[in-house]
């Protein structure tokens, strides 16, 4: 009993602005019990589609959870469709009728006759009390599988699942523990990374390895399941070290911290301060640095230089240097970092100058970016990268590359 | 050909923190074409489940769209599963191979051999060019139905769908004309806006009115459907003018242009230049301004001032002014705008100083923000706003408020 599928019911969940969030809560709860969610469905108020969906979920999954469609109206089809898919009848429950009538009395409201639709149970189902609403949940066991019908409103679903479903599930599940490792990696693309580590991780089915890629930022998750914490840790210890060795200093975080948070912690540890000089990133680098609460402890500020003239006027970059090498050059990147450091008095300074595209002002092809660095006790340095993508992606990758360059300087 | 089902592929979409947002975009696009989305599926990287899912979608829907799982790794199973579900073979395309190799050459990167997995097409599929990624989309027609395989990254999916899929779909859909009006609105919250315009728009079912809210930025869409363009325009003309009157100068764009694009056009029209002086927004304002290609025509650069000392050192703000009023004050906001304008020589300058939280450095409560403005022929001015939300939201709203303040100054 290790895998589940979730079916969210309701036409409103198929509009452009609505999302099913119940399944996120359920996934978290199920994962904590060692149950994996393997598929999710969102179905409108459509009897044929809903019945077919329940059928196909039951073909694959051991646990099938339906949310929504338990209300009193014609559109609420979950009870009907579940009965049809399971080949069972609906039976009227006088106990539930009494509960519903009592609830209306308590709130001094008139009960419309349609509310009695909610008193039908799939034959053999155990009703699950729902103190926050009129529709009870339903718990159905059949041939080693479990089907749950749960109300759609999150305020009803969550307490009902926690109080009624989790204890029942625990009776069916083998004792099981999950342990994870988590790496964030910078400085390589997704396919290069996969080519590097696939020969190792594909040998293991437990831990499971998942790779998630953002702009220049990749997350690698290892997840091990076992009966005890010791065994799960031992499984991670089989794969983790070889993964860490392959990735080396490309791993910037083992706990999910962002690159800007890691750089911030390193600056704080050293009691150091930072300034920036941004050209093509236009503020994106500083925006990331200052997204961290408390960043004013180490970030002093900096310069946005969106023209050659400003590089000279605000940072003192020699116009002759720009004329000779162009503003997109190692020389100018170094002079920018040096200028920002001198003018702000910061311990370190990092600069970005490049062509984000779509047009090029200097003749260098879009994606050509130089990162400069200045700090105490050594001459300023710079490195060149060529970044793929459109204007927005080049800017994001340039900010990421600059932060990673700084991280490496602060680590070495 | 009026109903669709969408299948999002990827195990990461089955974790507790991930949602499939591509289907929201696709739903919006499909609805605009008069196609209803009847069911959505989220399936992990699991060949059997994915194949069964494609089967069951094809049983019910006329249009089946798959997103994701087209990458180069072992986990990317969409091509395989689609071929299996359709009973077709996968065929290797030398043309796609050449495109992929060319792409890697262009970015001066080494191509890993696994990337050639992306050169397989479902037999009979038409490849859909994907300029932003290596995996082309695939368009498959069979027995009056349409199956599309699309890349998962939204930055690839959206242009590919708009440029390649919409024109092909239009050839299969009954003639129907849709006309839209589109307002982008700044300066009020979503619920205030809804309270203002709901009494008008709820009287109409055609046009349909949709309100989409971002941070401080609201989009109002009117969508009319009719058999001819004249009829659709006439329907819009019933509702549009009263909407425009209610919203007044809060509307900053009628064509979907972003606020930074609108401000950029106004600066360009005047042949004027702009600089910024950012404190709490930490680069976010300049980042938005420079996200527009060609913004170097009017944006010269500016200053990031993440401490009182930098406000004095880089902008010449009088320390006595800061001591008397604190750095989060009208006086300092004005001095910052004035200082940035003087030091850069720009026509206009805009400044932001405030408390983004969670802690306050000046005693002003988080959310207190001052926007300063300096331009020719009048003394600098400033306005105070109080912005709701957490650190990130306050920063986003502050950047939005600053851009909107500038727009109004450039309009008046």
Task: Kindly report whether the global pTM for this prediction surpasses the value 0.80.
Answer: no
Last residue of one domain, picked from the residues A221, A253, A285: A253
Looking at residue B23, the DSSP 8-state letter turns out to be: H
Are B270 and B145 members of one domain?
A: no
Question: Which residue range forms the structural domain that includes residue B20?
Answer: 3-172
Q: What is the mean pLDDT of chain B?
A: 92
Are B30 and B48 members of one domain?
A: yes
CATH value at residue A211: 3.30.70.2860
pLDDT in tens, A220-271: 989 888 888 899 999 999 999 999 999 999 999 998 899 999 999 999 999 9
Within its chain, how far is the Cα of B135 from the centroid? 23
Count of helix runs (H) and strand runs (E) in chain B: 14, 17
pLDDT in tens, B254-311: 988 999 999 999 999 999 999 999 999 999 999 999 999 999 999 999 999 999 999 9
Q: Is the model's pLDDT at A54 over the cut of 80?
A: yes
Q: How many domains are contained in chain A?
A: 3
Nearest CB among B287, B293, B344 relative to A283 is that of B287
The pair of three-digit structure tokens given for residue B169, joined into one six-digit string: 């779909």
Q: How far is B28 from chain A (nearest CA, A)?
A: 5
pLDDT in tens, B3-61: 999 999 999 899 888 889 999 999 989 988 889 899 999 999 999 999 999 999 999 99
Last residue of one domain, picked from the residues B172, B191, B217: B172
Q: Whole-angstrom Cα distance, residue B263 to residue B286?
A: 12
State which H helix or E strand residue B244 sits in. helix B229-247
Least confident of A183-192, A271-280, B173-182: B173-182
Q: Measured between CB atoms, does A94 come within 8 Å of chain B?
A: no
State which H helix or E strand residue B92 sits in. strand B90-92
Nearest CB among B46, B212, B344 relative to A310 is that of B344
- Whether residue A171 is preceded by a cis peptide bond, meaning omega within 30 degrees of 0, is no
Q: Is the model's pLDDT at B330 over the cut of 60?
A: yes
Are B151 and B287 members of one domain?
A: no
Are A13 and A102 members of one domain?
A: yes
Q: Whole-angstrom Cα distance, residue A49 to residue A14?
A: 14
Query: Residue B290 to residues B275, B301, B373: CA-CA distances in angstroms?
Result: 11, 9, 19
Are A361 and A336 members of one domain?
A: yes
Concatenated DSSP letters of B155-170: HHHHHHIIIIIHHHHH
Q: Measured between CB atoms, does B31 come within 8 Å of chain A?
A: yes
Q: Whole-angstrom Cα distance, residue B347 to residue A10?
A: 55
CATH value at residue A20: 3.40.980.10
**Is B100 in a helix, a strand, or coil?**
helix
User: What confidence score (pLDDT) does residue B174 get?
Assistant: 77
Are B211 and B332 members of one domain?
A: no
Are A294 and A201 members of one domain?
A: no
User: What confidence score (pLDDT) does residue A412 get?
Assistant: 78
Which residues of chain B have a CB within 8 Å of the CB of A44?
Answer: 38-39
Concatenated DSSP letters of B169-224: HHHHSPP-EEEEEEEEEESS-HHHHHHHHHHHHTT-SSSEEEEEE-SSEEEEEEEE
Please answer yes or no on whether A304 and B283 come within 8 Å at the CB atom. Answer: yes
Are A384 and A328 members of one domain?
A: yes
Are B315 and B189 members of one domain?
A: no
Are A79 and A7 members of one domain?
A: yes
- HSE, CB side, 13 Å, CA atoms: give it for residue A155: 4
Are B90 and B208 members of one domain?
A: no
Specify which residues B378 forms β-bridges with: B375
Q: Whole-angstrom Cα distance, residue B262 to residue B254?
A: 10
Q: Is the model's pLDDT at B214 over the cut of 80?
A: no
Are A121 and A196 members of one domain?
A: no
Q: Whole-angstrom Cα distance, residue B366 to residue A102?
A: 48
Last residue of one domain, picked from the residues A220, A253, A286: A253
Nearest CB among A282, A287, A309 relative to B282 is that of A287
ipTM: 0.71
Residues in B 328-347 with any Cβ partner in A closer than 8 A: 343-345
CATH value at residue B369: 3.90.950.20
Neighbour-count burial for A123-149, b at 16+ CB within 10 Å, e otherwise = eebebbebeebbbbbbbbeeeeebbbb
Please answer yes or no on whether B291 and A282 come within 8 Å at the CB atom. Answer: yes
């Amino acid at each position: 009993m290790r895998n589940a599928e979730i079916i969210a019911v309701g036409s409103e969940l198929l509009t452009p602005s609505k999302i099913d969030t119940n399944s996120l809560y359920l996934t978290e709860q199920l994962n904590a019990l060692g149950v994996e969610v393997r598929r999710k469905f969102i179905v409108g108020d459509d009897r044929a589609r809903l019945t077919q969906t329940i059928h196909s979920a039951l073909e694959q999954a051991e646990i099938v959870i339906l949310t929504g469609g338990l209300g009193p109206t014609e559109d609420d089809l979950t009870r009907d469709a579940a009965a049809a898919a399971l080949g069972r009848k609906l039976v009227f429950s006088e106990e539930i009728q009494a509960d519903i009538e009592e609830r209306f009395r308590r709130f001094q409201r008139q009960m419309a006759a349609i509310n009695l639709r909610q008193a039908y149970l799939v034959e053999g189902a155990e009703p699950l009390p729902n103190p926050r609403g009129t529709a009870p949940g339903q718990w159905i066991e059949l041939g080693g599988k479990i089907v749950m019908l749960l109300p759609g409103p999150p305020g009803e679903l969550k307490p009902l699942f926690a109080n009624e479903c989790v204890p029942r599930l625990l009776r069916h599940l083998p004792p099981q523990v999950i342990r994870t490792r988590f790496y964030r990696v910078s400085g390589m693309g997704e396919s290069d990374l996969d080519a590097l580590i696939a020969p190792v991780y594909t040998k293991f089915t437990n831990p499971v390895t998942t790779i998630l890629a953002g702009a220049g930022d990749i997350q690698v998750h290892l997840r091990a399941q076992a009966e005890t914490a010791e065994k799960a840790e031992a499984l991670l210890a089989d794969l983790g070290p070889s993964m860490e060795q392959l990735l080396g200093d490309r791993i910037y975080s083992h706990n999910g911290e962002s690159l800007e948070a890691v750089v911030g912690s390193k600056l704080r540890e050293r009691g150091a301060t930072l300034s920036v000089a941004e050209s093509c990133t236009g503020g994106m680098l500083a925006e990331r640095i200052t997204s961290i609460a408390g960043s004013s402890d180490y970030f002093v500020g900096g310069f946005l230089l969106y023209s050659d003239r400003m590089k000279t006027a605000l940072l003192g970059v020699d116009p002759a240097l720009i004329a000779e090498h162009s503003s997109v050059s190692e020389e100018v990147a170094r002079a920018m970092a040096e200028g920002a450091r001198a003018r702000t008095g910061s311990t370190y300074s990092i600069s970005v100058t490049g062509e984000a595209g779509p047009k090029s002002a200097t003749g260098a092809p879009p994606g050509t970016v130089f990162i400069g660095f200045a700090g105490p006790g050594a001459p300023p340095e710079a490195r060149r990268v060529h970044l793929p993508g459109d204007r927005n992606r080049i800017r994001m990758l340039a900010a990421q590359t600059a932060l990673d360059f700084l991280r490496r300087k602060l680590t070495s």
